[in-house]
A and B are shown apart, each in its own frame.
Chain A
Amino acid sequence: MDLGAAPMGAGDYAELLEFDMDMDGFASNWAYCDRVSTYFARMISHNRSDSLLYSNLFSSALNELLETVYRLHAPSGRFACSVARKGASERVTLTVPVDAQTAEFYRSAVKVLNEGDVASRYHSALFTDGPLQPNIGLLELAVDYAARFSIEPTDANAIRLIADLKLEESDT
């Protein structure tokens, strides 16, 4: 696993941290979702005005994204996760290897998220019996963390899922 801070920009976002690893490596251990999200949260939160609180929220949000990827991806390829910052916003970019089926999942999930009425979708998903819907984490981010999602194809075998998060009111 590579972890490093790269200074390359994404528009006017400044990149803070990036890691990438083989998808099958990442998907071999559920605990990676928790560890990676917690590590990222600690590393990027120290200069937020309430660092402990920020780190808690960021870890929760990123963990749901990683859990989603953990469950839905093509078996092989490179998985990358990076975090960039612009003022109070954090941009999480996930490059996920996909096949036709998982690509379709992400595309339709993002479409739903941008359609509105996500709160009621999220709440009914949370309280239905049986296994959770696979898009539950994305719904939660949109509702509880006001995340805005977009999706870009990279090549035939991967998509880039972008989540913009604003976890604190203003930048201090």
Chain B
Amino acid sequence: MIADTLVQTYKVSFDDNNQEFALSGSMRPERGAEMEACIRLLETSIASIRGTFYINVKRLVRLNNVAFHALAGALLKAADERPDVKISIITSSVIGWSTKKFGTLTAKNPRIVVEEYDSEFYPGQSFLEEGGFVPVLRTQTKLTWKHERSLLPRHGLTPGVTMADICCGIGDFAVLVAKEFAPSRIVALDHSKSSLAYARQVASEFDIGGIEYIYGDAAEMLLEDGQFDFVSCRHALQIFNKPEMIVNELVRICKPGGRVYVSNEKISQCLGEPRGPSIQWTYEQLSKLFADFDMDLEFGPKSYQALQKAGLEDIRIESFMVTNRDGDAQAFADMVMAWEEMFAGGMCEKRGDDAAFVEKFRRGFEDHIAAALHPGGYAGWPVWVASGRKPL
């Protein structure tokens, strides 16, 4: 059924540091007049800047013609009145419609330009198989970083170390670590060429030099023994059917006295209120779904023993809960939305689940999203991190 609880809304903000006006969410008003506050902020923002005015619509997922008409009118008027200003609209290819739609403005006034910020990252564009995974990893890392940055020093990450991030995905973690901890060397390895291409692009965009992105197989790395003070492997042991093989490799490339750091989930423990039981049911099913594909999304609490068995000492384990109350409820909701698409969409189909199951399965995700966006709701995703020292 149609979820009444799903909050449909949009956000408008202006960051005067970056001269960036940002629109996100869903804008489908019935009448142009409903756009008044947004248009007024747009006008005062443009009036306050010099040079280039940026309009970020990367996360504007829906926009009807009523809203576009109002925005277009205000932008064309502003461009007319301020011949000294260039208006740059930043879209995302992930959204699908926005580059074309905003592109119509350039024909009306060439000082309004549209840039698709991620188009170069996707050579095969949107139909690239792994492309759908990128936004999920993005959001996950953004949300976990809030917690991880403060606990990493307890697990051996200190400025100046040499580190390797194995199964780095799109490389956001490496970039964040580079900024925060300034290691002397970072190697980031993954088995997905497109993720690495994306990672390289991001690093160069943010002018973060010195991260070596390597294509490789974590179970059989071409890296030499004993090179790194800190070896991380995040959200990845849980997707291998033989995690011990990977752990052995992590230990092998770690220097004696250095630390191996892993993070994993126990997905059945995701929670939320209201509608706790529906949410719980879905995440228990999600855990089973992964198990049917030989992946153990319950691995988190097992990581202590996995590190112990690999011969590490001084093992430390702790957990944290990513929640909608961490400061970005929408990001939490976006993450769950993406999970729903990947798991209830692609994976259930592969397993051959029937429509009734998928519908109920989806409902738990929907309820988790609703809990995250609910004014009184609470939604959580627990993560376990563990590290151990390689004996001298």
Contact = CB atoms under 8 A, between A and B. Distances in A.
Tell whether A pairs with B: yes
Interface of A: 1, 3, 5, 30-31, 33-36, 38-39, 42, 45-47, 49-53, 55-57, 59-60, 63-64, 67, 123, 126-127, 129, 131-132, 136-137, 140, 144, 168-169, 172
Contact of A56 (B61, B127, B345): B61
B338 A52 contact: yes
20 contacts: A3-B1, A30-B30, A35-B2, A38-B62, A42-B362, A46-B346, A46-B349, A51-B346, A52-B94, A53-B94, A56-B61, A56-B96, A63-B28, A67-B28, A67-B65, A123-B104, A126-B65, A126-B68, A126-B69, A136-B69
Given A33-B28, A51-B346, A67 B64 contact: yes
A22 to B, nearest CB: 16
Interface in B34-86: 61-66, 68-69, 72-73, 76
Nearest to B337: A52
A51 B132 contact: yes
Nearest to A144: B100
A132 B69 contact: yes
Nearest to A54: B96
B32 interface: yes
B18 interface: no
A116 to B, nearest CB: 19
A50 B65 contact: no
Interface in B1-47: 1-3, 6, 8, 26, 28, 30, 32
A49 B341 CA distance: 12
Contact of A49 (B61, B96, B97, B127): B127
Interface of B: 1-3, 6, 8, 26, 28, 30, 32, 61-66, 68-69, 72-73, 76, 94-97, 100-101, 104, 107-108, 126-129, 131-132, 135, 338, 341, 344-346, 349, 355, 362
Nearest to B69: A132
Contact of A60 (B66, B97, B107): B97
Given A34-B26, A34-B28, A140-B65, A46 B344 contact: yes
Contact of B62 (A5, A59, A137): A59
Question: Sorted from nearest, which 3 A-B pairs have the closest CB atoms?
Answer: A46-B345, A30-B30, A53-B126
Contact of B65 (A3, A53, A132): A132
Nearest to A41: B62
B107 A132 contact: no
A52 B2 contact: no
A126 B345 contact: no
Interface hub of B72, B76, B341, B355 (most chain A Cβ within 10 A): B341
Contacts, number: 101
Interface hub of B101, B126, B131, B338 (most chain A Cβ within 10 A): B126
A64 B65 contact: yes
Given A56-B95, A127-B72, 17 more contacts: A3-B1, A38-B6, A46-B346, A46-B349, A47-B345, A49-B127, A50-B132, A51-B341, A51-B345, A53-B94, A63-B62, A67-B28, A131-B32, A132-B65, A136-B65, A140-B65, A172-B127
Contacts of B62: 34, 38, 56, 59-60, 63
Contacts of B96: 53, 56-57, 60
Nearest to A71: B30
B276 to A, nearest CB: 23
B341 A52 contact: yes
B352 to A, nearest CB: 13
Interface hub of B3, B30, B69 (most chain A Cβ within 10 A): B69
A144 B64 contact: no
B341 to A, nearest CB: 5
Contacts of A172: 127
Contact of A126 (B2, B94, B104, B338): B104
A42 B362 CA distance: 10
B355 A34 contact: no
A144 to B, nearest CB: 6
Contact of A50 (B26, B107, B131): B131
B64 A56 contact: no
A129 B80 CA distance: 15
A82 to B, nearest CB: 16
Contact of B341 (A35, A46, A127, A169): A46
A39 B76 CA distance: 34
Contacts of B100: 144
A100 to B, nearest CB: 25
A51 B68 CA distance: 25
A47 B358 CA distance: 13
A45 B96 CA distance: 14
A94 to B, nearest CB: 17
A46 B345 CA distance: 5
Given A46-B346, A137-B65, A55 B95 contact: no
Contacts of B97: 56-57, 60, 144
